[in-house]
Amino acid sequence: MNRNRRAVVAVIRKDLKVVTQNRMVWLPMIMVPAIMQVFLPLVLTLLPTFVGPEEFEIDDIRSLMSAMPASLTASLQGLSGQELWIILSVNYMFAPMFLIVPLMVSSILGADSFVGEKERKTLEGLLYTPITDAELFIAKLLTALLPALIISTASFLVYGIVVNASGYHIVGHLFFPTAMWWPLVFWVGPGVSVAGLGVTVLISSKAKTFMQAQQLSGTLVLPIVAMMIGQMSGLFFLSSTLVIIVGLFVWLLGIWLIWIGAKTFSRGELMSRI
């Protein structure tokens, strides 16, 4: 058992080392969070400064406010259009987009998990590692999951610093995060990573190239885009309760997908496609 655990850890260490040496893998994991958690929120919070207060009327964001609970809308009473824009866009309209970060990181690493080994001509040696198929599958999952959790947590911290610093001169106090963000980041975010990995690693084990696996995995972002559109249009509101419920569904889906992957993963099938 200890020998198998050491072999699993060795696979994870080897894969993480390879990731740091592959620009095609690690560069998107830096650029996308930088755009999502620095550039875009900076534009959102600085926009009122350059546009002017007369352009930010409450009517412009009434659709979002109509989906909010009465307790929250009451707490927003008396705020200027500029303050409402910053608080609502940063805390609520932008929230679903945060989930793209853990999904993107885990999908990139998951896509590289097996098809990357094929392209580097190292898959055959990996398949002779003295661990079971399930342990090899789990090692590949952990290789992608650990960086996804670290990068998404770091992105959350950077996002909080950027929006609070850039919007403080208008709002006058720290306004991020709200209570909803804690389950979003530490409950739904990891669940999204797990669910994305369940799909992506299966794709990687069957795809012929890393680019093919990555392109197929890119479709996983569509539900998040739909969630963002629904939130911005006022169709629904991401409260803490709804976020917890969504997270439970995502976790159950992710665990089921990983269970399916672990049960169907076969070294023999991979060997036949080397």
**Lowest mean pLDDT segment, chosen from 202-211, 228-237, 262-271:** 202-211
CA distances from 160 to 155, 186, 188, 189 (A): 8, 15, 18, 16
243 close to 187: Cβ distance less than 8 angstroms: yes
182: its two tokens: 């804690």
Report, as an integer, the average pLDDT of 114-143: 72
Rounded CA-CA distance 251/7 in Å is 27
270 close to 123: Cβ distance less than 8 angstroms: yes
Q: How far does the chain reach from its first CA to its final CA, in angstroms?
A: 29
pLDDT score of 135: 78
Q: What is the pTM of this model?
A: 0.80
Q: What is the pLDDT of residues 88-121, one digit of tens each?
A: 888 887 888 888 888 888 877 777 776 666 666 6
155: its two tokens: 């992105």
SS3 content of the chain, % helix, strand, coil (to 5): 85, 0, 15
Comparing 236 with 257, the larger pLDDT belongs to 257
Q: Alpha-carbon torsion 78, 80, 85, 91, what sign?
A: negative
Structure confidence at residue 143 as a pLDDT band (50, 70, 90): confident
Comparing 55 with 74, the larger pLDDT belongs to 74
* Nearest partner of 167 among 55, 48, 35, judged by Cα: 48
pLDDT score of 164: 93
Rounded CA-CA distance 92/237 in Å is 8
Using the structure block, give the residue that is written with the tokens 């569904």.
249
CA distances from 149 to 89, 106, 239 (A): 24, 9, 22
Q: What is the pLDDT of residues 168-213, one digit of tens each?
A: 888 888 889 888 899 999 999 999 888 888 777 766 666 555 555 5
CA distances from 188 to 21, 97, 194, 205, 241 (A): 30, 12, 10, 26, 12
Rounded CA-CA distance 175/269 in Å is 53
